[in-house]
Every structure is written in structure tokens, then in C-alpha cells.
Structure 1
Amino acid sequence: MIADSTGRDAGRRARPARATRRAGAWTHDGDIDPLTRMCRFGAEALMKTVDRYRLTFTHPGPDARMVTDEVVVERTSAHGPGGHPVYSDPTGILRAEISPAGEVRMLASGAYQSPINPAAEPLS
């Protein structure tokens, strides 16, 4: 037997990791660290998600003063490119992917948009 640096048989193929649901909780089968490599749905099951955020946009106004706009967005059933929930305003024009850490990624919902990233505040 030839062992690798982890002490396992180097000739044996590693079993692929997969997430399974047992008794309402997500568990992992395989040789992965569940804290750093969770599947998207398993990570959401462990984190408390916020249903509404207030997004605050700050931009220069016509007379060089800063103007602040606030929009309340609600969670949708969609997930963004980063795997986090997508939030939308009632019109559906403003869409943002917001991570549990509060990082905001604005998503274009139509042509000719160049959205800026706002500050996000969770609402209860």
C-alpha cells in the first residue's frame, strides 16, 4: 500500500462528496469539511435569512450635493450568480443579490442599466 500525505491509500479513489437531507437537517457524506464546502441549500438551512432589506443609494445631485434614495426590497424565490437570495422592489425593476454578510450585488433587470451598489440594512 502506498499512502499519500493524509495517510490514505493513494491508489484508492476518493468517494465524491454529496449533501443529503436526513430528519430535516442537511448532512454531508464524503471527505469534505461541512463548514467550508456546503451546498447552497444546506448553507441556507443553517443561516437565518432576512425577508426584507432597505437599500440606501447615495449619489451626487445636480448641485454637487449628495442625494440619498431609499428603496425597500423583499426576498424572491430566485438565487443570484453567487448562490444568495435575490431581493426585488415591488415593481421588479430593482433586483439585488444580498449575502448573509450584507454584501450587495445589483442585478440588471433590463438593457442600458448600470446600477451602483447601495448600503443594505435588514428590516424585521
Structure 2
Amino acid sequence: MNKIRSYQNYLLKRRKNQYKAAQILVIKPTLLYICMTKHSDKSAFKMNDILPQLEQLIDQLIGKNEQLEQQIVQLKEQNGKLVDENETLQLELLEREEKQKETSTTLSSLLDKLQSAHQAS
């Protein structure tokens, strides 16, 4: 009976130790998952080995985040310039349409005068 309890305790300790190691999986660039894995004594990951990997991944994510933030600032500036350019072009178009209407009106009035002068002679 003593041997059975010793064996049961051994099995309990072994089960607890099987899940002590963690493997880092990066599924998406923004998500970090730590999955508990079974291991043999030879392939056990120690927390001291995992922490530098986590730090490196976090540094990479922070760097990527800074890069994306700079890109956002540049795109906002570019968008602002394009909006200004668009407004300028729309104003120029309205001015041209007005000039075209004025020219059309002037030509119509000259044509009417010419027709009146032609009919009078």
C-alpha cells in the first residue's frame, strides 16, 4: 500500500511538471500566445530561456508600432495636402465654368447683334 501511494504521488508530481514549460507561438503579428506543452526532460524550456524571447518579441512589436504610427502621421499629412489640392481644383473648375458662361453670353449677344445688323441691311 505504501508503494501504491508513492507511485501515485510520483504520477501527480510528473503531471504537474509536464506543463511547466511554455512554448511561444506568434499567430498574428499583434497577438502573442503562450501555450503549455508537454515535454521530456531533454527538451524542457526554462522560463529564463523564454523571457529573452518575450522581450525580443515585445521590442519587435514596439518597433513595428512606432513605424506604423510614423506612417499614419505621413499619410495624414499627405491626405491633408490632397484635400487642399482637391479644393483648389474644384474652385478653379467653378471659375472656369463662370468664365465659360460669361463668354457664351457675350458670344450670344454679339451673334444677336450681328443677326440684327444683317437683317437691317
Common fold: TM-score over 0.5: no
Please say which structure displays the higher CA radius of gyration: 2
TM-score normalized by the length of structure 1: 0.18
TM-score normalized by the length of structure 2: 0.18
Report which of the two has the higher share of strand: 1
Report which of the two has the higher share of helix: 2
Structure number with higher relative contact order (C-alpha < 8 Å, ≥ 6 residues apart) = 1
